[in-house]
């Protein structure tokens, strides 16, 4: 019987990475074992591409992994470059910027993999440090004429939760609104999410989604759970994700990704 190739898809923040933003050595070795067995590894993150790529290059020292970034708006394949890119319509972007301004929510935009903000405040400084990317301060985000890949609002968790229905009404069918972190409210193109990107990548690289295993922790990972054959959530995941998971592992602080492999895929552990 021919062995079927598996594809493992890992979210980064809150899933693989520890609360201190560290990539566990055990997980790194595990991922190298997956590759040695001839199976596939994909990383799918809400981060900017430049941020995800910098982190993975530092950990692995080589460019070997397809990366879904910007919550599915961008897909990158080594040796091929960017194979999938979506942006928000400028009219939609301007409505979102105005909405966040009216509600006194910090807003930042991402244009051609560059991070922009109107205020040099604590929110952008903390985000920039976490993502390890520089940022550019401008007087008016709406004056940037290139369409953004994504817009992010950063604010109080409960306030953002209350604002979601209103923001969805503002963007209508032109964008998707969801939380990628408790204090992050993301707005991406309507035809882009992690699930759409994963399906596109599977078609491009010819791997079987029924043999694809996804690891995640937040609402943005639900889209991948809807298309993958197997879904694994860490215990620190939001309830919405755990409800649709096939297996709930330990938390990212306890290396829940590695623990899931000890229980479900021990053949990859040496």
Q: Any idea where the domains of the chain sit in the sequence?
A: 7-85+192-268, 90-189
Please list the residues that pair with 189 across neighbouring strands: 175
How far apart (Å, rounded) are the C-alpha atoms in residues 162 and 251?
Answer: 27
DSSP annotation of 147 reads P
Q: Are 67 and 46 a contacting pair, CB within 8 Å?
A: no
How far apart (Å, rounded) are the C-alpha atoms in residues 29 and 27?
Answer: 5
Q: What's this model's pTM, rounded to 2 decimal places? A: 0.93
- CA distances 121 to 76, 83, 124, 139, 263, Å, are 31, 34, 6, 14, 44
Q: Is the pLDDT of residue 40 over 90?
A: yes
Tokens encoding 118: 């109107």
Report the DSSP pairing between strands 114-117 and 74-77.
Answer: unpaired
Beta-carbon contacts of 150 under 8 Å, excluding residues fewer than 6 positions away, are 70, 71, 73, 88, 109, 110, 186, 187, 188
Helix, strand, coil percentages in the chain from 3-state DSSP, rounded to 5? 45, 25, 35
Q: How many CB atoms lie within 10 A of CB 21?
A: 13
Q: Is the pLDDT of residue 1 over 70?
A: no
b/e per residue 214-245 (b: at least 16 CB within 10 A): bbbbbbbbbbbbebbebbbbbebbbeebbeeb
How far apart (Å, rounded) are the C-alpha atoms in residues 147 and 170?
Answer: 18
Q: How many CB atoms lie within 10 A of CB 84?
A: 17
Average pLDDT, stretch 7-32?
97
46-72 pLDDT tens trace:
999 999 999 999 999 999 999 999 999
155-192 pLDDT tens trace:
999 999 999 999 999 999 999 998 888 899 999 999 89
Q: How many CB atoms lie within 10 A of CB 270?
A: 8
Beta-carbon contacts of 261 under 8 Å, excluding residues fewer than 6 positions away, are 30, 268, 269
115-169 pLDDT tens trace:
999 999 999 999 999 999 999 999 999 999 999 999 999 999 999 999 999 999 9
Q: What's the CATH fold of domain 7-85+192-268?
A: Rossmann fold (3.40.50)
What DSSP letter does each residue of 34-88 carry, written as one string?
HHHTT-EEEEE-SS-HHHHHHHHHHHHSS----EEEGGGTEEEETTTEEEEE---
In a 10 Å sphere around its CB, with 0-12 CB exposed, 13-18 middle and 19+ buried, how is residue 254 labelled? middle
Instruction: Provide the pLDDT for residue 180.
Output: 82
Which overall architecture, per CATH, does domain 90-189 show?
2-Layer Sandwich (3.30)
Which contiguous run of DSSP H or E holds residue 189? strand 184-189
């Amino acid at each position: 019987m021919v062995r079927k190739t598996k594809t493992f898809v890992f979210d980064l923040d809150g899933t693989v990475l520890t609360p201190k933003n560290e990539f566990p050595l055990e997980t790194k070795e595990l991922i190298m074992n997956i590759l040695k067995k001839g199976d596939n590894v994909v990383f799918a993150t809400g981060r900017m591409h430049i941020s995800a790529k910098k982190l993975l290059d530092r950990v692995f020292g080589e460019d070997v992994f397809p990366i879904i970034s910007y919550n599915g708006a961008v897909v990158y394949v080594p040796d091929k470059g960017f194979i999938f890119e979506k942006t928000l319509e400028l009219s939609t972007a301007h409505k979102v910027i105005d909405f966040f301004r009216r509600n006194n929510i910090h807003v930042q935009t991402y244009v051609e993999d560059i991070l922009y903000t109107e205020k040099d405040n604590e929110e952008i400084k903390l985000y920039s440090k976490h993502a390890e990317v520089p940022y550019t301060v401008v007087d008016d985000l709406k004056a940037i004429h290139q369409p953004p890949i994504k817009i992010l609002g950063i604010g109080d968790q409960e306030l953002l939760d209350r604002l979601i229905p209103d923001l969805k009404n503002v963007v209508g069918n032109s964008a998707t609104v969801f939380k990628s972190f408790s204090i992050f409210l993301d707005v991406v193109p309507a035809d882009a999410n992690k699930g759409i990107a994963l399906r596109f990548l599977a078609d491009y690289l010819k791997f079987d989604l029924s043999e694809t295993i996804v690891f995640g922790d937040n609402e943005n990972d639900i889209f991948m759970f809807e298309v993958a054959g197997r879904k694994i959530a860490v215990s620190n995941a939001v309830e919405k994700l755990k409800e649709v998971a096939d297996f709930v592992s330990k938390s990212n602080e306890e290396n829940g990704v590695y623990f899931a492999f000890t229980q479900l895929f021990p053949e990859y552990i040496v």
